[in-house]
Amino acid sequence: MAKKKSKKEDIRMVENLELRSNKVLISINPKFYDLDVVYSSLYNFLEKCYCKVEGDPNDEILVELKPKKKIRNLERMGREFNNELINYAAVKIRGLKTEGMRIEIVKRALTSHQPIKKEGTNAEGKNIEGINMPWKGEP
């Protein structure tokens, strides 16, 4: 019986990218990039790729991008992902820096809303003695 030759897949390493024939694996340092940054970056690739996330959040995260349609330049796609990591990491940094300010703005916006007070009534619209008076219009 003839033995089947196993086709050895060409694997090329470029920085944190493992380039295979039909997909790219991206190695990410979870101590440098938070998991939510990784997921945010991945979101933009969901439409054009089948994506996987594997690994250990304490050691190394592996993101696999497998294009839905065959593309020539997998390295470019891996590098686009690296660029997205930086973009979302920067968004998070800016968000953290302005968090206090944003909370304060929302607090002020909510506390500055006061109900309209009618003459002779308290804040709830009842007359001052606390008795709701029915409206008596002229015939």
Partner 1 sequence: MSMNTKVVINFDTKLFKKEHIILAAQDYTEPCWVLVDGSEDSVSAILIPKDGEIEKEELKDEFYNYVLATVKNY
- DSSP string for 112-133: T--PPPPTTB-TTS-BTTS-PP
Residue in 13, 46, 71, 93 binding partner 1, rule: CB under 8 A: 93
Asked if residue 51 lies in contact with residue 68, where contact means CB atoms within 8 angstroms, the answer is: no
Instruction: For partner 1, give the closer residue by CB, 40 or 82.
Output: 82
Does 62 bind partner 1 (CB under 8 A)? Our answer is no
Coil/strand/helix, residue 84: helix
Burial environment of residue 97 by CB neighbours within 10 A (0 to 12, 13 to 18, 19 or more): exposed
Q: Which range binds partner 1 by CB under 8 A, 44-52, 79-87, 112-120, 128-136?
A: 79-87
Stretch that binds partner 1, among 47-55, 68-76, 104-112, 114-122 (CB under 8 A): 68-76
Residue ranges in contact with partner 1 by CB under 8 A: 15-16, 29, 31-32, 73, 75-76, 79, 82-83, 86-87, 89-90, 93-94, 97
